[in-house]
Chain A
Amino acid sequence: MNNNDALWEDSNQSDYMNKTRLGLDEALIRQISTDKNEPAWMLEKRLASFELFKTKAMPTWGPDLSKLDLTSITYYAKAMDRPAESWDDVPADIKNTFDKLGIPQAEQELLAGVGAQYESTAIYHSLKEELSEQGVIFEDLDIALQKYPSLVEPYFMKAMPSSLHRFAALHGAVWSGGTFLYIPAGVKIEQPLQAYFRMNAKGMGQFEHTLIIVESGAQAHYIEGCSAPRYGVDSLHAGGVEIYVKEGARFRYSSVESWSKDAYNLNTKRAIVEADAHMEWVGGNFGSNTTMLYPCSILKGDRSSADHLGVAFAGAGQTQDTGAKVIHLGKDTTSNIVTKSISREGGKAIYRGLVEISPLATNAVVSVKCDSLILDDKSQADTIPVMKINNETATISHEASTGKINAEDLFYLRSRGIKESEASAMIVNGFIEPITKELPLEYSVEMNRLVELEMEDSIG
């Protein structure tokens, strides 16, 4: 556990910061595009997004973003000129970071492929041969844009248009790095495909874009974990995730995010789900100063469905404003939202959800269940579930609960010799178990450790 802490505190020395600068203007956007040798349409998209960004106001309906100074963010940095071909090509300081994260071992044992993002440029990418033989593409998005432009262009920022909100527009202007995953029709992949992200440079934004296309009848599970070292200067993360789940396909997107305590994590994740297809979101949100994240499923096709499972942990000085958004468009569509939040030491955990049933979406079934655990009197939990129901045939259920750690449970565990902070962490981990059990073992263990870390200093 202490090792983890050391990992977060230590920011590796890198020389690439010399090449970067603060703030955003058209020249920087052109430079990004030129550096990446992008097709003209991408530059146009970036510039159009930048124009939108200038017209969009900061969102004021949620957490306070007034301290986020967008002029003091580094919008673009690159660690190396091109991604390393193999582990041996990865520079030592970067390798050291990944060594601590355990990536090489993890890969040897379990991973089907690793896409790791260090700053804005992918440094390491590998994919097992059996997958590429099946036509699976698992690439850095910058590279996919060069190698498979006709696959990228029809989808890029269609599910997540720049016009969505200010940070989607910003993302469209400065996005850099990220993952492209393409699963051909009928291909079923059992092992989760994994990517690690790490935001490292002081005050630096990270705007990675994840684009995933799951063709008809295909099945896959993509998982990413994010962690960031702690810094005193505000950092901004405004990533984007777009997922296209085609007819009859099944896809699960899992992420465990643990941002530095000063980071603004303003992320946009959206999936378009076609007929008979199924989308699952499994997420854990830790750290950050403020997180705003509401993964969205657009149930476009008839009989499409989505599950949204989320855990949020708000510690001292943190606001976790998270939830889910589901738009029911097709007939006989189903959505199931289960969230668990924990707040302590003055943290604020807010479930914010929007479920919209369109007039044509007959027989939609919606289930929303939000549980909050508040660990002390200083902390807060709120539930803001919005339902817009425009079709009377919908079946909606909503449950919410708010509670504290049961004092008798705590006494029971302590009477067995377990320290109070550990006993509390055990109870909290039990509380989120319905969600962690959906993650691969190493990720559920990591999420449990994050809870233990958060709880360690909570009780004197």
Chain B
Amino acid sequence: MNILEIKNLTVTTSDKIILDDINFTLAKGESLAIMGPNGSGKSTFAKVLLGHPDYQIKSGSIVFNGQDILKLKPEERAAAGLFLSFQEPREIAGLDLFSFLFDAYRALQEARGKEKISVFDFKTILDAELEALAVKGDWSNRQVNTGFSGGEKKKAELLQLALAEPTLAVLDEIDSGLDVDALVIAGKAIDRAKAKGTSFLVVTHYRRVLEYVRPDKVLVLSAGKVAAFGGPELADKFEAEGFASVEK
């Protein structure tokens, strides 16, 4: 069983081809790193997976967990088990962080046919995750990402990941803004999610985050095309010898 099957996927934005005939599959339980230089289409691929409305699918298919998700809205893809940790999480002024987290949690629970959780039970879960992420200071009066440091934003993304319990979590440059200590904490968060059965798709410039994710496969993108697809050794080569070394 594959968690993700990408077939002949071609994507445009403003009539410009931005992903060109992408093909790969990822087996359940496996994790994948997507690497490549700036502008290669890595982040675009992450957003296309979640159904960002700016991108048009010209051809091909995305089958997630046995289901064709191309017609699904972003919120339906989230309910189906996809999660995207944003490279630059949005700051939404005036939106209370905890009530947003609770609303999102309940929306996912409802869409997944689970029982409604009380705010008190949610608070218990939330507190445990905040502690696991070693969140410093009181977040209870904060607004979504507003005034957060780069590191805090990434922690908030990992917090949302933990609450969403996705089947496949896409991490777009999760290590940017994280210092070494925070990266260790992030690695533990990834391990906890893996233990609960979450597969990872990591979009990154740098190899260092892969020490924490330990991908089974590496996909290298270049100018919207698959330049290379292989095992973890590809990442080492990519970093040591530069992008040209892995180009087909």
Query: Residue A419 at the B interface, CB < 8 A?
Result: yes
Tell me the count of chain B residues lying within 8 A, CB to CB, of chain A. 30
In the complex, what residues of A have CB within 8 A of residue B75's CB?
A: 414-420, 423
Query: Residue B41 at the A interface, CB < 8 A?
Result: no
A418 touches B94 (CB 8 A): no
B73 touches A426 (CB 8 A): no
Near A by CB (< 8 A), chain B positions 133-191 give: 143-144, 160, 164
In the complex, what residues of A have CB within 8 A of residue B108's CB?
A: 416-417
Query: Residue B78 at the A interface, CB < 8 A?
Result: yes
B174 to chain A, nearest CB (A): 15
Query: Residue A433 at the B interface, CB < 8 A?
Result: yes
A426 touches B103 (CB 8 A): yes
B92 touches A407 (CB 8 A): no
Bound Cα distance A431, B144 (Å): 13
In the complex, what residues of A have CB within 8 A of residue B52's CB?
A: 411
In the complex, what residues of A have CB within 8 A of residue B73's CB?
A: 414, 420
Bound Cα distance A423, B74 (Å): 12
Main secondary structure of the interface of A (DSSP, over half): helix
B94 touches A422 (CB 8 A): no
Query: Residue A412 at the B interface, CB < 8 A?
Result: yes
Query: Residue A184 at the B interface, CB < 8 A?
Result: no
B111 touches A433 (CB 8 A): no
Residue on B nearest A406 in the bound complex, by CB? B90
Bound Cα distance A413, B107 (Å): 11
B107 touches A430 (CB 8 A): no
* Given contacts A416-B164, A420-B73, A409 and B107 within 8 Å (CB-CB): no
Query: Residue A109 at the B interface, CB < 8 A?
Result: no
Query: Residue B29 at the A interface, CB < 8 A?
Result: no
- Most chain A CB neighbours (cut-off 10 Å) among B50, B78, B92, B108: B92
* Given contacts A418-B75, A420-B73, A413 and B53 within 8 Å (CB-CB): no
- Most chain A CB neighbours (cut-off 10 Å) among B83, B104, B160: B104
Near B by CB (< 8 A), chain A positions 369-412 give: 406-409, 411-412
In the complex, what residues of B have CB within 8 A of residue A406's CB?
A: 90
In the complex, what residues of B have CB within 8 A of residue A413's CB?
A: 92, 100, 104
Of the candidates A411, A417, A422, A423, the one whose C-beta lies within 8 Å of that of B79 is A417
Query: Residue A434 at the B interface, CB < 8 A?
Result: yes
B94 touches A416 (CB 8 A): no
A426 touches B95 (CB 8 A): yes
Near A by CB (< 8 A), chain B positions 95-109 give: 95, 100, 103-104, 107-108
Residue on A nearest B79 in the bound complex, by CB? A417
Bound Cα distance A414, B107 (Å): 10
Bound Cα distance A8, B52 (Å): 38
Near A by CB (< 8 A), chain B positions 46-90 give: 47, 50, 52-54, 73-75, 77-79, 83-84, 86, 89-90
In the complex, what residues of B have CB within 8 A of residue A420's CB?
A: 73, 75
A427 touches B107 (CB 8 A): no
B160 touches A416 (CB 8 A): yes
Bound Cα distance A419, B106 (Å): 12
Bound Cα distance A417, B84 (Å): 11
B90 touches A418 (CB 8 A): no
Bound Cα distance A420, B107 (Å): 12
Query: Residue A361 at the B interface, CB < 8 A?
Result: no
In the complex, what residues of A have CB within 8 A of residue B103's CB?
A: 418, 422, 426
In the complex, what residues of A have CB within 8 A of residue B92's CB?
A: 409, 412-413, 426-427, 430
Bound Cα distance A354, B187 (Å): 58
Query: Residue B93 at the A interface, CB < 8 A?
Result: yes
* Given contacts A407-B53, A419-B107, A426-B103, A414 and B74 within 8 Å (CB-CB): yes
B205 to chain A, nearest CB (A): 21
Bound Cα distance A419, B103 (Å): 10
- Most chain B CB neighbours (cut-off 10 Å) among A408, A414, A423: A414
Binding site for B on A (CB under 8 A): 406-409, 411-420, 422-423, 426-427, 429-434
Q: List 21 A-B contacts (CB under 8 A).
A: A406-B90, A409-B90, A409-B92, A411-B50, A411-B53, A412-B86, A413-B104, A414-B73, A414-B75, A415-B50, A415-B77, A415-B78, A415-B84, A416-B164, A417-B75, A417-B79, A418-B107, A426-B95, A427-B92, A430-B144, A434-B94
Q: Ordered nearest first, which 10 A-B pairs have the shortest CB separation?
A: A433-B94, A430-B94, A417-B78, A414-B74, A430-B95, A412-B90, A416-B104, A417-B108, A417-B107, A414-B75
